[in-house]
Structure 1
Amino acid sequence: MDPSRIVLAGGWISLMLVYLLGDVLRIFAGDFRPGEMDGRPVAGWTWTLAAVVMLVPVAMIMLSLLAPAGPLRWTTLVAAVLLAVLNLAGLPYPGLYDNLLIVAGVALNAVVVWQAWAWRPGLAVTPPG
């Protein structure tokens, strides 16, 4: 398997874990109120939209391993840039830990973008045997 695919999948796994860590810390820090975002009640469709956004890294893990190289490269670039912009749009967050995790997430997105941009499918060296 092309090593770039593994690096991309690893980047998406890392990003997903950063998102989950932020959610867990938000709950334990008391910065989470059920049914609210930014102190305001939200409609049910908002939670569905949040679930869709959180599923992007999950889907990209599988796509990184299974999708054809050409479409994967562009899908990766678009998804990573959109997630980075979405995360940066909310800055600054109330907790220092949240801001730190957003910076880490954006850095991971940058690594994924760089890896996808620099990737030249078909140039991978296949080990003998």
Structure 2
Amino acid sequence: MDIKQNSNMLKNEEVNIKIKLAFLWAAVTLCYLYGDYFELYVPRKTEGLINGDNLLDSPMKLLFASILLAIPAVMVFLSVILKPKVNRILNILFGIFFTAIMLLIAFTSLTPWRSFYVFLALLESIITSLIVVYAWKWPKN
């Protein structure tokens, strides 16, 4: 290999598994936020928010939804700070759990006005599946 050809090659650093997992959880969190924001544009959605005719129509349902949606956001941080064994287990468990939830949401949202939701749910299920795969294949010493 000559010097000119060698100088055109870009270096690709290995990214730590913890950083990969944290960024994947961040991507999931952003997709949730975008989905919930775009849902406000669905006809009669804001009307339901104002008059209380919606899925989260009680304090307990709001608390449950808050806990559920806090998990991916907190996993961004936990993926960086936890020790590998616990980290791997939590990423696999929550990854499988959220993949299942997102697939359920995708298949129950098959309407023209929620096609964006189906797209985001399928994207989130791909991302959470990647979380499971990366955590499952956690590098050994």
User: TM-score, normalised to structure 2's length?
Assistant: 0.77
SS at match of 2:131: helix
Q: CA deviation at 1:31?
A: 5.8
Equivalent in 90, 109, 127 of residue 75 of structure 1? 90
Partner of residue 28 from structure 2, selected from 9, 12, 15? 15
- What secondary structure is seen at the aligned counterpart in 2 of 1:120? coil
**Equivalents in 2 of 1:78, 1:58: separation in Å?**
15
Q: Deviations over 1:32-61 (max 9, x none)?
A: 331312xxx722100111101110111101
Among 16, 19, 37, which residue is 1:24 paired with? 37
Give the greater-gyration-radius structure (CA).
2
What is the distance in 2 between the residues matched to 1:106 and 1:81? 9
Map 1:26-105; keep pairs closer than 5 Å: 26-30=39-43, 32=45, 33-34=48-49, 35=52, 36-37=54-55, 42-90=57-105, 91-93=107-109, 94=111, 95-105=114-124
Letter in 2 for 1:114: V
How many aligned residue pairs are there? 118
Could you tell me how far apart the structure 2 residues matched to 1:87 and 1:113 are? Answer: 14
| TM-score normalized by the length of structure 1 | 0.84
Greater RCO (CA < 8 Å, at least 6 residues apart) = 1
RMSD across aligned positions (CA): 1.6
- Write the distance in 1 (CA, Å) between the matches of 2:82 and 2:44: 38
What percentage of residue pairs aligned between the two structures are identical? 19
